[in-house]
Amino acid sequence: MNSIDGGAHDDLNAFQLLSEVADEQPISQRELARRLGIALGLVNSYIKNFVAKGFIRVKNYPRNRYAYLLTPQGMAEKARLAYQHIHYFSNLYMVTRQDYLRLFRELAERGIFRVVFCGVDEVAEIAWLSLHEAGLELADVMDDSRSGELFMGREVVTLAHGLLAGNHRIVITSLKRAEQLRHRLRDLGVGDDAILHPGSPVLPISDSGQ
């Protein structure tokens, strides 16, 4: 897959974090990490950086929860990042849409018409559009951090649960957590030949059930 540079990822994470705390409701850093799909330590680093720059003030609540109050400087930074986010998503959409479309068309040419999505975020939504354009079917959607939620009308399941359904080709559909998801699948016994992402070779696997 063509990559979006690391600076864009940092700006997107910063924008999403500022958006999450904008309502000034008490929230733990662990919950912020879960919502954003990033490491707890990274959330802590962002918060410290925002406080040092004067973007937010921290109000303590019991049980290790805090309200992060946006300062006028923080509101201005959020607006600036929102503008950049629009451009980031436009680039992400155009590049990712074509990358996934090429992958799904190659699968169709090889007679593979059912795949599983692994990872739910804005990239998964783009991949879903490409999937339908290529005429493939979505067999399941897996994401440990989003299980129980709905994705395009289908319930998201944990990776362990999704793997019980059969030996489908699994397509990584998160840009931010691609490596994390790949390692998790390997830990669950999935071979590299069954884990796909744009740019990866489509290799034959045994008993694929396709």
For residue 8, what pLDDT is reported? 60
Rounded Cα gap, residues 78 and 183, in angstroms: 33
**Per-residue pLDDT at 208 exceeds 60:** no
- Residue 1 pLDDT > 60: no
Yes or no: say if 120 and 146 are a contact pair by the CB < 8 Å rule. yes
Higher pLDDT, 142 or 191: 142
Task: Assign 161 a pLDDT band (cuts: 50, 70, 90).
Answer: very high
Closest CA to 36 of 125, 142, 145, 143: 145
What are the contacts of 129-137 at 24+ separation with CB within 8 A? Answer: 129/97, 130/97, 130/98, 130/100, 130/101, 130/103, 130/104, 131/100, 131/104, 133/101, 133/104, 134/101, 134/104, 134/105, 134/107, 134/108, 135/108, 136/104, 136/107, 136/108, 136/112, 137/113
For 63, residues 6+ apart whose C-beta sits below 8 A from its C-beta are: none
Statement: residue 201 has pLDDT above 60? yes
Place of tokens 């992958």: 103
Give the type of residue at 23: D
For residue 47, the surrounding DSSP H or E stretch is: helix 40-53
* Per-residue pLDDT, 156: 95
Beta bridge partners of 66: 27, 60
User: Which domains are assigned to the chain?
Assistant: 6-89 (1.10.10.10), 96-196 (3.40.50.720)
Q: Which of 9-13, 26-30, 112-116 has the lowest mean pLDDT?
A: 9-13
pTM for the full predicted model? 0.61
Position 66 confidence tier, pLDDT thresholds 50, 70, 90: confident
Q: What is the mean pLDDT of residues 137-165?
A: 91
Instruction: List phi, psi (to 5°) of 140.
Output: -165, 165
Specify the pLDDT at position 9: 66
Comparing 36-40, 57-61, 168-172, 201-205, the range with the smallest average pLDDT is 201-205
User: Lowest-pLDDT range, 79-88, 145-154, 180-189?
Assistant: 79-88
- Both structure tokens of 83: 């503008």
Over range 148-173, report the average pLDDT.
89
Cα(18)–Cα(195) distance, integer angstroms: 34
Structure confidence at residue 207 (pLDDT): 45
Q: Could you list the beta-strand ranges (E) of 119-174.
A: 137-142, 150-151, 154-155, 169-172
Report yes or no: 156 and 150 within 8 Å, Cβ to Cβ. yes
In the structure, what pLDDT confidence band is assigned to residue 203 with cuts at 50, 70 and 90? low
The pLDDT score that the predictor gives to residue 64 is: 65
Both tokens of 153, joined, read: 């009308």
